[in-house]
């Protein structure tokens, strides 16, 4: 029987993770399937236990289960512990292991775009779940400084304190110097594609939108209009999945399958 992997969320219908992982299984000739599991918050812990006992090998975890997953696993890798959030579970023998691959996915996506956070000033818009990983990895990878800008300053302060960065109210970003600006809010995501969380971006910086639907977001259009380069979050999605695949299979996916997956995901997104 094929090994079973999957993604647990609520809701989960929109997830592109099965496309990525099932293409990886096929490419590397691995006898496994990757499915979506819609699990209500109150059922998460029990369902993970049942899955483990039934021989499921690994689960990706998405909204709203990332904190519950942290509390559920036996062992945590340091990054997941530091951001208090788990997006990948490995079921192994007598123990369950929790990881968070969002940060490394973000860094690899930046590298793919020819960017590095080292010695650079980073402005992050938003103070939600994704910001924890993005802000923390920027600090760990040697950013000169990281500032979290959010409409709710209390939330920004909680995240900033947790990951060791500074923070300010959203519109203050205009008074700060930055080399890379990251949109980590859902503003501009399909179907509200005309919306943008800010109205100006400095010239000559790099703008990264965590959103990947639409392919060119309002935030990216604004950056280009202001004379800056921009990229969407699709490579981040791919690379966080590749890190999970590496944890489960011990294989680092190559660039040939990466490009095939990128093309396929864009086709799927355009079909929607
Ligand atoms: P989240 O936990 O819901 O946080 C969203 C953040 O955006 C909150 O700080 C929220 O502020 C803020 N926000 C929402 N609407 C806003 C508005 N109109 N103006 C200003 N701020 C606003 O979401 P998340 O999990 O961090 O995800 C954020 C985005 O990143 C989503 O679009 C998600 O799809 C994307 N994402 C992409 C990847 C990838 O691999 N590419 C990975 C993770 C996330 P309040 O708290 O005040 O509401």
**DSSP secondary structure, 77-115, as one string:** -HHHHHHT---EEEEETTEEEEE--HHHHHHHHHHHTT-
Looking at residue 221, what is its pLDDT?
Answer: 98
pLDDT (average), residues 94-111? 97
Ligand 1 atom nearest 155 alpha carbon: 46
Top-confidence residue, 93 or 267: 267
Ligand 1 atom nearest 152 alpha carbon: 47
Residue 208 has pLDDT above 80, yes or no: yes
- The answer to whether the CB of 156 falls within 8 A of the CB of 168 is yes
| Atom 7 of ligand 1, nearest CA residue | 185
Residue 272 has pLDDT above 80, yes or no: no
Looking at residue 94, what is its pLDDT?
Answer: 86
Output the ligand 1 site: residues, CB below 6 A: 63, 102, 105, 126-131, 150-152, 155, 170, 184-187, 189, 197, 210-212, 233, 236-237, 240
pLDDT per residue as tens digits for the range 214-225:
999 999 999 999
Position 93 confidence tier, pLDDT thresholds 50, 70, 90: confident
**How remote is the CA of residue 179 from the centroid of ligand 1, in Å?**
21
Pocket test for ligand 1, best of 60, 101, 152, 184 (most atoms within 8 A of CB): 184
Residues taking part in catalysis:
66
50 to each of 35, 55, 189, 199, 266, how far by Cα in Å? 16, 9, 35, 48, 35
Ligand 1 atom nearest 237 alpha carbon: 40
Residue 248 has pLDDT above 90, yes or no: yes
pTM of the model: 0.97
State the Cα–Cα distance between residues 178 and 226, nearest whole angstrom.
14
Position 1 confidence tier, pLDDT thresholds 50, 70, 90: confident
**How remote is the CA of residue 268 from the centroid of ligand 1, in Å?**
22
Looking at residue 219, what is its pLDDT?
Answer: 98
Q: Which residue has the tokens 């040939």?
A: 256
Percent residues over pLDDT 90 in the chain: 96
Task: Give the DSSP H or E segment for 27.
Answer: helix 17-27
Mean residue pLDDT of the chain comes to 97
Residue 76 has pLDDT above 80, yes or no: yes
Exposure string for 190-214, b = 16+ CB within 10 A, e = fewer: eeeeeebbbeebbeebbbbbbbbbb
Q: What is the DSSP letter of 15?
A: -
Helix axes 234-249, 102-112, angle to 10 degrees: 120
Looking at residue 271, what is its pLDDT?
Answer: 87
pLDDT per residue as tens digits for the range 128-170:
999 999 999 999 999 999 999 999 999 999 999 999 999 999 9
State the Cα–Cα distance between residues 74 and 63, nearest whole angstrom.
20
| Atom 39 of ligand 1, nearest CA residue | 237
Position 91 confidence tier, pLDDT thresholds 50, 70, 90: very high
């Amino acid at each position: 029987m094929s090994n079973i992997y999957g993604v647990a969320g609520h809701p989960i219908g929109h997830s592109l993770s099965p496309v990525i992982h099932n293409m990886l299984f096929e490419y590397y000739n691995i006898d496994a399937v990757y499915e979506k599991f819609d699990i209500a918050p109150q059922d998460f812990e029990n369902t993970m236990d049942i899955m483990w006992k039934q021989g499921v090998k690994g689960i990706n975890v998405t909204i709203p289960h990332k904190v519950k997953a942290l509390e559920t696993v036996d062992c945590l890798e340091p990054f997941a512990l530091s951001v208090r959030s788990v997006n990948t579970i490995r079921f192994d023998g007598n123990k369950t292991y929790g990881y968070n691959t969002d940060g490394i996915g973000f860094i690899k996506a930046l590298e793919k775009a020819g960017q590095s956070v080292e010695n650079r000033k980073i402005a992050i818009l938003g103070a939600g779940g994704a910001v924890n990983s993005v802000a923390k990895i920027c600090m760990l990878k040697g950013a000169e400084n990281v500032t979290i800008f959010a409409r709710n300053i209390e939330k920004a302060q909680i995240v900033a304190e947790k990951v060791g960065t500074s923070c300010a109210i959203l519109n203050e970003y205009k008074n700060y110097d930055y080399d890379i600006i990251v949109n980590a809010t859902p503003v501009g995501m399909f179907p509200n594609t005309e919306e943008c969380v800010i109205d100006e971006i400095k010239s000559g910086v790099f703008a990264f939108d965590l959103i990947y639907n639409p392919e060119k977001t309002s935030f990216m259009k604004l950056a280009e209009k202001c004379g800056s380069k921009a990229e969407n979050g699709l490579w981040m999605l791919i690379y966080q999945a590749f890190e999970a695949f590496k944890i489960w299979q011990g294989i680092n996916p190559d660039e040939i399958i990466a490009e095939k997956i990128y093309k396929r995901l864009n086709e799927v997104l355009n079909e929607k």
